[in-house]
Structure 1
Amino acid sequence: MIPAAFDYEAPNTIDEAVRALAEADDEVKILAGGQSLLPVLRMRLAAPAKLIDLGRIGELQGVRTDGDMLVIGAMTSHYDVQRDPLLNEHAKLLVMATDTVADPQVRHRGTFGGSLAHADPAGDLLAPALALDVEMVIAGPRGRRTVPAAEFFVDYFTTAVGEDELLCEIRVPKYTGWHAHYEKFNRVAQAWSIVGVAAAVRPDGHMIAEARVGLTNMASVPVRARGVEQALVGQEATPEAIRAAAEHALDGTSPTADGNADVAYREHLAKVLTSRAVSAAATS
């Protein structure tokens, strides 16, 4: 199908984009990589009066270091995230999760911030962002504000970004020396996660000194598996200890049934994948 007619604007700065949002009288959509929005427009599931394309805003692209934090521009492509040396050294979990997103064509066009702002609970970047306590910097007519990942994801396809605001950067603490793994279960290659688990651990010899675990598609928003984390800390990274910790994976979850899996199957997957993800991270 052909999308309904719309006006198009491509600002050159964040301030121009914010003004364009504020001046819009009718529904407006932000165009980042377009990998989620364009199919919706073609099927006429959305018919905005205007699209604001962020592709020309250079300050929204790239990765830089800022003290003990990394800063990822919201328009940085998945492809660039995969290959960025700073992220590979200090936030490997984000890179490993990005490796599983769709296919090479989508990763070249899709953007890191666009995926987070889309907030699909089956999306593979939400749980890693939550597990690593990233911060989202949101720009709007009242200036910029910073929202922690735990407060950013509100519900299905809903975030803390207001109608007159846009996500401009993601701030990631440095996890230098941490080991990580993203374990994803899907029916066919390049598909959305039925369940996914993001795990990062800081080893201390054979012991686990710290752990961070996030779950994909086990609720309407990503879930932090704090029960698993607490059970892992101070334990030797043995298969038995990791399996015992993974029994806490369902704490705080509320999975739903769909055409891919019923609730019981998702709960089973969450435990199994948590054990696999933590084991892989601890032994990497």
Structure 2
Amino acid sequence: MKAAPFAYHRPDTVAEAVQMLGEFGEDAKILAGGQSLVPMLAMRLTHFDNLIDISRIDELKDIERCGDELRVAAGTPHALVGMDDEVAESVPLLTLATPYIGHFQIRTRGTLGGAIAHADPAAEYAAAALALDATIEATSARGRREIPAAGFFTGLWETSLAPDEILTAVRFPVWGRRSGFAVEEFARRHGDFAIAGATIALQLDDDDRVSRCGIGLLGLGSTPLRGVVAENAVVGQNVDAVTAAEIGKLAMGGLTDIPADLQGSAEYRSRVGATMVARAWTAAVAAVQTSETEAIHA
């Protein structure tokens, strides 16, 4: 199939893009990398009279450390995020998540902002944004506003972005010392959408108690989710007193609408999800211990 006819626009600046978006209203759609939108248009699952291509706007391609946050501009390709030294140093969870995103062609063309704005339930960067308590920057002709990641995803492929807003950047907190991060997911083949997965960010205090924990879940709801029940249960606990299996069970216990489809039943996804959380927890704890050892020998 071919996409229905549409008008193509390619602004040179964010200001031009938001002006067009405000002018065309709901008849317009932002095109970033196009890795999700173009197939949907081709199969006529969706249609817009106007496509606004922001892929060549230079101000949307940037990675910058700003104090205790890392700001990643929305048009930054997955591949660049995955290779960037500042990302690896400041927000390792993004580096770990990148190889799970599709195949190298998708990572070369797709963008961080596009992946998060698309709000796919199995999106790795979206789950990482939730786990890290990231902040979404949205820009319109009315100005810029900030949206906590926890309130950004509202439904299947739906977000709290207003019709005239563009996602222009995501700010990720830098967690600092005694932190560990991990990503685990299960798919039929590498590059397929995950049946279930987890991103975990973990920080310990000097007495080995969990001072902070973020668990992002993918493939386990109509949106990317947080494992809030499990997070709350482990904060304040000594890390050695927490078992991986317990964390996996708690993370699934807080979910109320696990999907069932051709990939598996809700019960199957729940079992896989619990296993992915458990594996990610084990890896995150090991990462804290590894960072401690490396610091001693540095």
Task: Please show how residues 164-179 of structure 1 align to structure 2 within 5 Å.
Answer: 164-177=164-177, 178-179=179-180
Cα gap change, 1:246 to 1:75, in 2 (>3 Å): same
* Match 2:276 to one of 259, 273, 278: 273
Aligned to 1:161: 161
Q: CA deviation at 1:18?
A: 0.5
TM value normalised by structure 2: 0.90
TM-align CA RMSD: 1.7
Cα gap change, 1:225 to 1:25, in 2 (>3 Å): closer
* Match 1:219 to one of 218, 221, 229: 221
Q: In the alignment, is the contact (CA less than 8 A) between 2:123 and 2:224 conserved in 1?
A: no
Q: CA deviation at 1:227?
A: 2.2
Local SS of the residue matching 2:250: coil
Which one is further off, 236-245 or 271-280?
Answer: 236-245
Q: In the alignment, is the contact (CA less than 8 A) between 2:25 and 2:164 conserved in 1?
A: no
Local SS of the residue matching 2:264: coil
Local SS of the residue matching 1:219: coil
TM value normalised by structure 1: 0.94
Q: CA deviation at 1:180?
A: 0.6
When you count helix as a share of all residues, which structure comes out higher?
Answer: 2
Q: For residues 215-247 of structure 1, what are the alpha-carbon distances to aligned partners after superposition, in whole Å with 9 as ceiling and x for unaligned?
A: 112111222112222333344444962322332
Local SS of the residue matching 1:125: helix
Aligned sequence identity (%): 37
Aligned to 2:208: 207
Task: Please show how residues 86-105 of structure 1 align to structure 2 within 5 Å.
Answer: 86-105=86-105
Q: CA deviation at 1:10?
A: 0.9
* Match 1:242 to one of 233, 241, 244: 244
**Unpaired stretches in structure 1, ≥5 consecutive residues:** none
Aligned residues, how many? 284
1:191 aligns with 2:192: yes
Matches of 2:207 and 2:186 in 1, distance apart? 28
1:283 aligns with 2:275: no
Letter in 2 for 1:258: D
Local SS of the residue matching 2:130: helix
Q: CA deviation at 1:31?
A: 0.7
Aligned to 2:262: 259
Matches of 2:202 and 2:278 in 1, distance apart? 13
Q: For residues 22-61 of structure 1, what are the alpha-carbon distances to aligned partners after superposition, in whole Å with 9 as ceiling and x for unaligned?
A: 1116611111001011111212222321110102211111
Local SS of the residue matching 2:19: helix
Q: CA deviation at 1:65?
A: 1.3
Letter in 2 for 1:200: A
Matches of 2:69 and 2:130 in 1, distance apart? 15
Cα gap change, 1:246 to 1:26, in 2 (>3 Å): closer
